[in-house]
Chains A and B, each alone.
Chain A
């Protein structure tokens, strides 16, 4: 068992080292090796499960300066996030192998992608605010380069926007961290536990969080960032990047500080407005990736809403939501990617009738869409219903009503997407590959969403075991 204690280091080291090593090989090697690196990362994340089951929580710290230390923690939150993120990242890397095959010189692509995953893993395990900030900005730089991968004028503009908005948020985060250091003389999360954080400081950190997790009013970078290659969109904007903010929120406000009522009410209000505005914008958008990006904004609102309730039950529900959303939204973005890859079109008015030539992609889309909408027997149903129940039970009736209205919007825009893109008049002859890894990837994500929805005790029991 003792050797497994170090497994979490490898979830960080393997992708970070892989990023540099892969820069040496050819594009063909990179495709295979990137998936291998992701698989190993996932495996190492899995190996941390028995550690948490046996020890509950492990903390290691290597002090560097008064305010900075290489402090890491392995607990229920880290295990869950690491397993989910690395699994989705692995599936996306398989998909990317085929998707990116038509582009040359993928050195940068794989470098930044692996660097991003490594930074994400580092951030998940960090137990020092300064260290969190370092990894936070590393993910920002990696996503900046990945969003602007095509280097066209629009791509660079969107990438700059994403970077600048998240950096704007990060500067608030940094200010918050500085205030915390000034007040308490430490940035170690273990030493800050139970501290009643002043509302203003909490809000400073929260601005950083909402910029990363695309909550109102710092959300507009996310739809624009859909110009990126689809694996990037799936990885950054559905499965992993946007969850960073959510995760840091949970780490800071449900595991470290004691937030004030005023702050929690603010978070709740922001999340509910985000749910509705995100869903409403998705309904009127016409670009397939923008629809899904707005959908992400809206769905993250539900997770934030659960966290704003500030209870252990709500925290667990939020994590099941993260799992459901990561799987299904990655699936949806990857489906959109297949459509875009095969047709070179993104506007729904130019698409139609694709179910005839892309039946498996259409099926995978529907599986994932049902999960996002929150229809049983898909996984997304459980956390969505629980969030609404918990919100109502906490006495926030208006918020519960708006969350349900958001779900109706979701039903309408995802059905509209399916009808416009996969049904109706055939506008293009483009077809999916018969033995396409991309298609199998999306089918896998859809099937897992269904399977875990049918057997909800699996994810819930796992969560109950690791988060006590």
Chain B
């Protein structure tokens, strides 16, 4: 364990601090790559060779304990892998400031610490440290967005801390349970504790309503920052916690499932609707980053093992293709000098590698087989159906149905959205722009894309790589049904590949054997010109004109669902009330008390006239009073 701690936590943090003092950008990048390669190697080794437990005593029952579990070890591999890929990518992207590399390395150290934590104190420490680094990274782009992000995620973090406190009160120990036998949720206190821990996880993962900072950050921060945090690390850790909450910490009750499913379904639909109308590639991807969390959340909300497995697999898959998508958008945007998708068309011919990768990522996120997104989405549906069949009563099955519809509908809209994305950015006609003609992404940006695209295919064709080695050994019930309804990825891949080959053969045959006439495009008998060109960005404009949808966008426009705004207004309202009704009121009483004392003093002072007759009068009055008392 000592080696693990050194290589996975202290080394990245030390390198992060050292990186700050390095003057040359390549040196910072190389240091980062070297350290993260070493960390990745140790993460892989620790997955194979289980290290021991280590504990540092703090105070009485409080200690900091490091331990190792199979799912955490697997997640750690991807934390370091994503860190490494972003580190390579960032150098070529031009994100080579010393703060970036420092934050990246320290962030990886903190993330490793979080998953290595076996007690809540240490877990919260690593978890919260990432908040400071999030602030530092976003601060460089926009101060206001950084403030918003920290306010929202910080609130979620404090909800998590309270959840931890309540759970410790319930269980009597600060250790995170690891035996897969969670507490049943029966009492209101247990339900509240569950909700708080769930909020902490959802806050980190960026689920609705904790999402508003992500789209804003996408336009103010660089793509490597987005690829690192909202796309990969936040999802990995948020869903990792959710997985622990739903298995090791609690056994979900019907009410808990209902809440999780509703948040999941709501997140899918809300974010995908928002994504559909975005004109900026970065914002579009950000809303999808939010939307995809919904699937993972639904997976855990099903309460069945296959749902949990689906949630975890989708977390990993999403991190792969979403990081890739942010990277492709970054590469394309860098070439065109804009992220406005209306101005980006026709890049495929200049950036074929980037295009193919973007296509793979887009198909993956849209849940098209044989890519990884399909497998995990399929499992989510399977889990939801299984959960629905198990659900009792009326309300929970209804919620299951709503979540299923949201998931299906969301998937269709995701595909629609990515048709728009791919068409606008890479296909269609090339838009005119100043500056040199676009060219393929640089090597440092290309290779991370290729690796991630390859992972999309590998995990799509061979999901057992993750399932058999990480998920099944960890799940409390390893009996995930294999049989009817089970997605046979390999067979599907062979069939699809065969279909693709046949298709290519037909095309090839057609080109070689037939003479193809190439002519201009026509709309309604008129030759297509720039004026009547129907841009992909306008694909779903009609959708916005539907009354209900228009109202939805109206509510969003007025920020009525913006958690930051709601939180700020609520706190200010409560603050004002308490300030005036308690603090100022007490101050008024304090002042009145002082005035009363002064008044009494002044009154008594007036009695001291210095006039002898006056004093004698007082004596006489006093004697009369005494007389009455004695007599009476």
Write the residues of chain A forming the contact surface with B, with a CB cutoff of 8 angstroms: 161, 164-165, 216-217, 219-221, 273, 276-277, 279-281, 283-285, 294, 312-313, 316-317, 320, 370, 373, 375-377, 381-382, 385-386, 388-389, 391-393, 395, 397, 400-401, 404, 407-409, 411-412, 415, 419, 423-424, 456-457, 460, 463-464
Contact = CB atoms under 8 A, between A and B. Distances in A.
B590 A165 contact: yes
Q: How large is the interface on B (under 10, 10 to 19, 20 to 34, 35 or more residues)?
A: 35 or more
A244 B73 CA distance: 48
B275 interface: no
Contact of B568 (A280, A400, A412): A412
A419 B147 contact: yes
Closest 8 A/B residue pairs (Cβ):
A280-B578, A283-B575, A404-B162, A392-B169, A376-B128, A280-B575, A392-B165, A220-B587
A457 B63 CA distance: 10
B576 A464 contact: no
Interface in B140-190: 143-144, 147, 150-151, 154-155, 157-159, 161-162, 164-166, 168-169, 172, 174, 189
A332 to B, nearest CB: 17
Contacts of A283: 571-572, 575
Given A164-B594, A404-B161, A411-B151, A216 B168 contact: no
Max chain B Cβ within 10 angstroms of own Cβ: one of A313, A320, A397: A397
Interface string B577-596: 11100110011011000100
24 contacts: A161-B594, A165-B590, A219-B586, A276-B578, A279-B575, A283-B575, A285-B579, A317-B59, A320-B59, A375-B154, A385-B165, A388-B162, A388-B165, A391-B165, A400-B165, A401-B162, A407-B161, A408-B154, A409-B571, A409-B575, A411-B155, A415-B150, A424-B143, A457-B56
B6 to A, nearest CB: 15
A284 B575 contact: yes
A401 B195 CA distance: 13
Interface in B17-45: none
A385 B572 contact: no
Given A165-B590, A220-B583, A277-B583, A411 B575 contact: no
B59 A423 contact: no
B531 interface: no
Contacts of B157: 375
B129 interface: yes
B579 A376 contact: no
Nearest to A407: B158
B574 A457 contact: no
Given A376-B125, A419-B143, A389 B168 contact: yes
A464 B59 contact: yes
A365 B579 CA distance: 25
Contacts of B151: 411-412, 415
A395 B58 contact: no
Given A313-B59, A408-B571, A397 B189 contact: yes
A211 to B, nearest CB: 11
B129 A377 contact: yes
Nearest to A317: B59
Contacts of A277: 578-579, 582-583
A393 B169 contact: yes
Contacts of A409: 571, 575
A405 to B, nearest CB: 8
Max chain A Cβ within 10 angstroms of own Cβ: one of B62, B124, B151: B62
Nearest to B156: A408
A408 B571 CA distance: 9
Contacts of B127: 376
A276 B577 CA distance: 12
Contacts of A408: 154-155, 158, 567, 571
B566 to A, nearest CB: 13
B60 interface: yes
Contacts of B505: none
B59 A411 contact: no
A393 B174 CA distance: 11
Contact of A385 (B61, B161, B169, B587): B161
A423 B578 contact: no
B161 A280 contact: no
B131 interface: yes
Given A220-B583, A415-B147, 8 more contacts: A216-B582, A220-B586, A220-B587, A284-B579, A316-B59, A385-B165, A389-B174, A404-B159
A281 B161 contact: no
